[in-house]
Amino acid sequence: MNTMTLDRTTAAAKTARTPIADDRAMLKAAADLTRDLTAPRPAIYWSDLVASAVIGYAALAVAVMATSLWATILASAIAMLALYRGMSFIHELTHVKHASLPGFRTGYNALIGVPMLVPSFMYEGVHNLHHARTRYGTSEDPEYLPLALMKPWSLPLFVVVAALAPVALIFRYGVLSPLSLIVPPLRRVVVERLSALAINPDFRRRMPEGDAAKQWKRIEAACAVWAMSLIALVATGTMSLRTFAIILAVASAVAVVNQLRTLVAHLWENDGEAMTVTAQYLDTVNVPPPAALPALWAPVGLRYHALHHLLPGLPYHSLGEAHRRISAALDGASPYHKASYPGMPGLVAKIARSTMLAR
């Protein structure tokens, strides 16, 4: 990611446009029509998370034990989709009030966060900055790069590099975490640069404090023990290289699919200026029904990403109903309808065309 460069002169010329004013009617309708949809339903959250974990790990076990190549591939694909769905709950954790879902953070970390080495603290305290009114799309946004204005090779690199994430995470938690305890300067680097699910290479995390620091240490310790155990199991031959390769392949596929979803979650056309809420919405993407595949590659409400930026407090299970209500209430001229797209291929092509024009 650090090798990605942006020609600011070209980008600035391309994005010189009239600022988009907020559409008050859209913002008011979105708020008024969804006031009864804001409460998270614990039964849905827990059953969805647990089912995703059970199916994911069961399918992974089948993939490891299968003697047929095709059975291994099929089971691995099921494991990837289920574990990817489970991992997507990390997004919900950053928005939901924990008092309304007691124990859910612990459940996520136990079932997904620690085993997948994607603990909740890697997103909590980071993702909320992406939603900050004056940070979105700027250099202070940890989850934004003007990809549509960058070099064409940036897009494939952006996706391919994600395949290395599982190895990087094992190294981060299995080697750097314990080493950083005895090397204070390394500890600062690990926290600031290697503890966030961010795509902006200039982003630096603050050192945690108080209760957040204590919680971080407990969860990180669990991740470190798990990562070191994996390394030891493979090094001693207790876990076969085939088993380890299948686990890595599934985890890599999860990371790549998530990166593809990230690639089409926004249009990435902002070059650092602060944006109105409506402008942020139009730079973000909904992929609503009747499209079916987004339910797999943008699970847990992520297919309504633009709507989520309008109403970040809505639980994922309410977004479909919210979209139906708002779509029906606003006429065809409303900006609300302009953030909806039919699927991933068209979005990738749109962003790729933008990179060609930005050269």
Residue 17 confidence (pLDDT): 59
pLDDT in tens, 26-54: 999 999 999 999 999 999 999 999 999 99
For the chain, which ranges sit under pLDDT 70? 1-17, 358-359
Q: Do 129 and 119 meet the contact criterion of CB atoms below 8 Å apart?
A: no
- The pTM is what? 0.93
Q: What is the percent of the chain with per-residue pLDDT over 90, rounded to a whole number?
A: 91
**Spans of all domains in the chain:** 8-358
Q: How far is CA 103 from CA 9, 65, 133, 218, 333, in A?
A: 49, 33, 30, 15, 44
3-state secondary structure string across 35-86:
HHHCCCCHHHHHHHHHHHHHHHHHHHHHHHHCCCHHHHHHHHHHHHHHHHHH
Q: Do 20 and 278 meet the contact criterion of CB atoms below 8 Å apart?
A: yes
Q: Do 303 and 284 meet the contact criterion of CB atoms below 8 Å apart?
A: no
Three-class DSSP category at 255: helix
pLDDT in tens, 60-95: 999 999 999 999 999 999 999 999 999 999 999 999
> Which has the closest alpha carbon to 85: 320, 316, 357?
316
> Which has the closest alpha carbon to 135: 191, 212, 200?
200
Q: Kindly give the residue spans of alpha helices, DSSP state H, lying in 172-283.
A: 177-180, 184-193, 210-235, 241-263, 277-282
Q: CA 29 to CA 329: how far, in whole Å? A: 8
